[in-house]
Amino acid sequence: MALSGIQIYKMLPQTNCKECGFPTCLAFAMKLAAKQVELSTCPYVSEASKAQLAESSAPPIRLVTLKGIGTEVKVGNEVCLFRHEKTFYNKTGLFVRVKSSQSDIAATVAKAEAFKVGYVGMDFSVDGFTVEADEPSKFADAVKAVRSASKRPLILISKDPAVLSAGLASLAGETPLLVGADASNWEALADLAKTSKAALAVSADSLEELAALTEKIKAKGVDDLVLIPGGKTMGESLAKSTQIRRLALKNFRALGFPILTFPGDAGSAMRESLFAAQAVTKYAGFVVLNEFNPELMYALLVLRENIYTDPQKPIQVTPGLYDINNPKPESPVLVTTNFSITYFSVANEVESSGLPARLLVVDADGMSVLTAWAAGKFDAERIAKAVKSFDIESKISKKRIVIPGHVAVLSGELEEELPGWEIRVGPREAVDLPAFMKQALN
């Protein structure tokens, strides 16, 4: 049963020493009740209180960390059903499957490993690889082949503990995820997960059976569990994933674990794409794709980024003066805000045009141009302050700046804030900037 912040506060030392980073014990207690801090952050909790608080302070969905060689993927620790209620914390791990019968494992993995793409200033890549023992005698060599091409965390699939053991032999010091435990073999696989310090994925036909299995496996001392609820259709899978998340958030500990899905089991590549997108948005901790497809991977990575960013914190770039295409003193100065998507829209259009320019990025609390203007975060005063603080005048030969067309209304005020400057109103859309620069700024 979850405790309220006040109930937790009564068990804290109440000295307000601030060592936890919060101004008071009550503030810390409120954060603990919201599952946004670890109890261990306070060094002064008594052993008796720790025991009482353990249940309440544990996250409703266990954090499971898979480790490769110097790499790791964390999933779980989520605290809400809908992203806008708070935020989703640990992004779905996207894994690519190879099978032990394949002859080109190292080359396949190397190709996926080399996949690196950028999106609004962030670099994306595959999270890890899954090795399935469809030909058990080749499993150990298949794991070695994957390891020869990637250091990322691994998921190993087999129902046979001996086969999994052979694969684990080349993963000393790592924390892979073992997949294959069900009602028929859970004891042997739980023993193997415990001795090898691996996480263990468990499958069952119903949520009741799944919950019963996790309780038995936890009693054997394996805590890092992952659920495979399955589902013959996308609808059934969605229903099961949603029920698991709802029950976990109500502190039903037997289902308080991340979910693993195999969208490729749905059939065609098209269905795999749809299923994978559903899994990313609705509660999957791990998604294993049948094969590496760069187009699908990119779409899922972008989708994931949009789901797992804090809706209360826009993605921002650092305010400043950015050179594009080696500008000269006479090159124009364009103004925009520090909302990432706005910045990259403008920067990409100008960069691909080949025209030299300077882009003045004004601190607008990470909002887009119109939103920031409406909120009073992008006005003549802020723009003028940025012009002065980044010392633009020393870098240019012509005192002229171009403001976005959406805020043409600011031009008069800006003339007053920046006497001696020519204020030009640019186009409303970034896509029209190159034509504007060619035609209006010569």
Report in angstroms how near the CB of residue 17 gets to ligand SF4 at its nearest: 4
Applying CB under 6 A, the site for ligand SF4 has a residue count of 13
Question: Does residue number 195 form part of the binding site for ligand SF4 (CB under 6 A)?
Answer: no
Amino acid at 196: S
**Cβ proximity to ligand SF4, 24 vs 371, nearer residue:** 24
Q: DSSP per residue over 4-69, as a string?
A: PHHHHHHTS------TTSSSSHHHHHHHHHTT-S-GGGSTT--HHHHHHHHHHHS-SS--EEEE-S
**What gap in Å lies between CA 346 and CA 323, rounded to an integer?**
12
The helices-and-strands tally (H runs, E runs) of the chain is 16, 17
- Considering only 22-30, 113-121, 153-161, 410-418, which stretch makes contact with ligand SF4 by CB under 6 A? 22-30
Contact 77, 60 (CB under 8 A): no
Contact 201, 178 (CB under 8 A): yes
What part of residues 373-402 is at the interface with ligand SF4 (CB under 6 A)?
A: none
Question: Does residue number 186 form part of the binding site for ligand SF4 (CB under 6 A)?
Answer: no
Q: Which of 15, 36, 233, 411 binds ligand SF4 (CB under 6 A)?
A: 15
Nearest 5°: CA angle at 322, between 318 and 324?
140
For residue 45, which of 79, 74, 19, 80 has the smallest C-alpha distance?
A: 19
**Cβ proximity to ligand SF4, 43 vs 354, nearer residue:** 43
**Cβ proximity to ligand SF4, 49 vs 165, nearer residue:** 49
Question: Does residue number 36 form part of the binding site for ligand SF4 (CB under 6 A)?
Answer: no
Question: Does residue number 9 form part of the binding site for ligand SF4 (CB under 6 A)?
Answer: no
**What gap in Å lies between CA 33 and CA 39, rounded to an integer?**
10
Report in angstroms how near the CB of residue 7 gets to ligand SF4 at its nearest: 14
Report in angstroms how near the CB of residue 253 gets to ligand SF4 at its nearest: 25
Residues 6+ apart with CB under 8 A from 145: 105, 106, 109
- Considering only 21-29, 88-96, 236-244, 403-411, which stretch makes contact with ligand SF4 by CB under 6 A? 21-29
Question: Does residue number 30 form part of the binding site for ligand SF4 (CB under 6 A)?
Answer: no
Quote the longest CA-to-CA distance of the chain.
Answer: 81
Contact 178, 185 (CB under 8 A): no
**What gap in Å lies between CA 334 and CA 264, rounded to an integer?**
47
Q: Which of 4, 10, 19, 117 binds ligand SF4 (CB under 6 A)?
A: 19
- Considering only 7-15, 170-178, 205-213, 423-431, which stretch makes contact with ligand SF4 by CB under 6 A? 7-15
Helix (H, G, I), strand (E, B) or coil at 189: helix
Report in angstroms how near the CB of residue 42 gets to ligand SF4 at its nearest: 3
Question: Does residue number 16 form part of the binding site for ligand SF4 (CB under 6 A)?
Answer: yes
**Cβ proximity to ligand SF4, 11 vs 288, nearer residue:** 11
Residues 6+ apart with CB under 8 A from 267: none
**Cβ proximity to ligand SF4, 28 vs 275, nearer residue:** 28
**Cβ proximity to ligand SF4, 16 vs 125, nearer residue:** 16
Q: Which of 6, 17, 169, 435 binds ligand SF4 (CB under 6 A)?
A: 17
Question: Does residue number 10 form part of the binding site for ligand SF4 (CB under 6 A)?
Answer: no
Question: Does residue number 38 form part of the binding site for ligand SF4 (CB under 6 A)?
Answer: no
Contact 255, 241 (CB under 8 A): no
**Cβ proximity to ligand SF4, 41 vs 348, nearer residue:** 41
Residue 92 DSSP one-character state: P
**What gap in Å lies between CA 373 and CA 413, rounded to an integer?**
13
For residue 404, which of 380, 381, 388 has the smallest C-alpha distance?
A: 380
Report the interhelical angle of 269-281 vs 234-249 (nearest 10°).
Answer: 20
User: Judging by DSSP bridges, how do beta strands 72-75 and 64-67 pair with one another?
Assistant: antiparallel
Question: Does residue number 11 form part of the binding site for ligand SF4 (CB under 6 A)?
Answer: no
Report in angstroms how near the CB of residue 74 gets to ligand SF4 at its nearest: 25
Contact 63, 77 (CB under 8 A): yes
Token pair for residue 436? 């504007």
- Considering only 9-17, 127-135, 256-264, 364-372, which stretch makes contact with ligand SF4 by CB under 6 A? 9-17
Question: Does residue number 257 form part of the binding site for ligand SF4 (CB under 6 A)?
Answer: no
Sign of the Cα torsion 351, 353, 355, 358 reads negative
User: Per-residue x/- mask for ligand SF4, residues 40 to 79, rule CB under 6 A?
Assistant: --x-x-----------------------------------
**Cβ proximity to ligand SF4, 34 vs 269, nearer residue:** 34
**Interface positions with ligand SF4 (CB under 6 A):** 12-13, 15-20, 22, 25, 28, 42, 44
